[in-house]
Amino acid sequence: MKAVLLTGHGGPEKLEYREDVPAPEPAAGEVLIEVGAAGVNNTDLWTREGAYGAADDPEATGGWRRGEAMGFPRIQGMDVAGRIVAVGDGVAGTRVGERVLVDPTLYAGEGNGLIGAGFIGSERDGGFAEYVAVPAGNAHPVGSALGDEELATFPTAYVTAQRMLKRARLKSGETVLVTGASGGVGSALVQLAKARGAYVVAVAGPGKEERVREIGADAVLARGTPDLPAAASEASGGRPIDAVADVVGGDSFAGLLNALRPEGRYVVAGAIAGPSVGLDLRTVYLNHLEIIGSTMGTREDFADVVRHVTDGRVRPLLAGVYPLRDLGRAQEDFGRKSFFGKLVVVPR
């Protein structure tokens, strides 16, 4: 089959397009999916670059499981939409022909274990290929008129956003400040927060403000706005900021904490502007703030996303489609962040 192999940590030169890669066979409890489209994510870039570090050395080269060496070659690609074409032992043959969206999380142990969990496309081969084998429970049937390219914009970004909002306990009528709102997770946060009945103040790259309003944000601030706490208060019409959903980190961290009301909640699931931040602990303890880490999502979170997609409560934000052989270019374009929404690749 056609596939792109990641041959080691490094730049796009580590991605090798081949047409002679053996197609996988589904093991017991697995299904084989003919890939219609696969989305590009920050995790793909960070994994390729070995940018996750280690627990005792943030600058170390390492994969998603910090301190654990990755196996190469690896086929990346977490966000898969396609159709089941074969099943392994123990899986009902009636599943052949199902159109599915793939939950990318490889849960640790029984149930929803997220500590120590892995990812399809990181700890096992993923969707940047014509075929991928995945655990049957990760392949969710999806009934939608959307194309595979559109469906592939949802999995990682939307399940990450859904988990963040659950962890932050965001309720109807509350106000949430969302960073990185023109990216995959940020735009998912805007839509899912609105679906919960929240008032959304979004931070987006200059020139993308109107697009963020179109997907539901009540107010939008340009990235780099001076005095973020004051600007957020003005943008919210004086409403207190109950929660911050952050995927950016970096220099904006202190301003985001200062924007929160007393007893507010800050949840983070990314650090695209830098993982090391300055923290004045007095801001945290004097205001009784909560700082919450979040990543991936549970099986229930993913099922929630599939229902939102099926019901049309969230919309795909497809920014670009690339042929599989151009995955390196797709990842480079993704890193530039000049688009709005998500980029996907198609094997055919």
- Which numeric CATH code is attached to 3-153+316-346? 3.90.180.10
Is residue 111 predicted with pLDDT exceeding 90? no
Q: What's the pTM value of the predicted model, to 2 decimals?
A: 0.92
Least confident residue range of 16-25, 45-54, 96-105, 313-322:
45-54
pLDDT, one tens digit per residue, over 226-281 is 999 999 999 999 999 999 999 999 999 999 999 999 999 999 998 888 888 999 99
Greater model confidence, 54 or 324: 324
Residue 205's pLDDT band (boundaries 50, 70, 90)? confident
What pLDDT shows up at residue 206? 87
- Domain residue ranges in the chain: 3-153+316-346, 157-293
Mean pLDDT of the 158-173 span: 97
Label residue 59 exposed, middle or buried (CB < 10 Å: 0-12, 13-18, 19+).
exposed
End-to-end CA distance of the chain: 11
What pLDDT shows up at residue 146? 96
Quick check: do 3-153+316-346 and 157-293 share a fold? no
Chain-centroid distance of CA 139 in Å reads: 17
**Homologous superfamily assigned to 157-293:** NAD(P)-binding Rossmann-like Domain (3.40.50.720)
pLDDT, one tens digit per residue, over 28-85 is 999 999 999 999 998 899 899 988 877 667 777 777 676 677 889 999 999 999 999 9
Q: How far is CA 340 from CA 44, 215, 287, 332, 333, in A?
A: 18, 11, 35, 15, 12
Residue 109's pLDDT band (boundaries 50, 70, 90)? confident
pLDDT, one tens digit per residue, over 129-152 is 999 999 999 999 999 999 999 999
Residue 87's pLDDT band (boundaries 50, 70, 90)? very high
Spatial CA neighbour of 191 closest among 223, 157, 224, 221: 157
Spatial CA neighbour of 4 closest among 53, 51, 38: 38
What pLDDT shows up at residue 66? 67
Tell me if 132 sits within 8 A of 2, measured CB to CB: no
Average pLDDT for the chain: 93
Q: How many percent of the chain have pLDDT more than 70?
A: 97
Q: Would you list the DSSP string of 72-135?
A: SSB----EEEEEEEEE-TTS-GGGTT-EEEE--EEEETTTTEEEEEEEBTTTB--SSBSEEEEE
Is residue 164 predicted with pLDDT exceeding 80? yes
Cα–Cα distance measured from residue 333 to residue 330, given in angstroms and rounded to the nearest whole number: 5
Would you state the structure tokens that stand for residue 1, as one six-digit string?
Answer: 């089959």
Tell me if 195 sits within 8 A of 308, measured CB to CB: yes
Mean pLDDT of the 112-135 span: 92
Tell me if 125 sits within 8 A of 74, measured CB to CB: yes
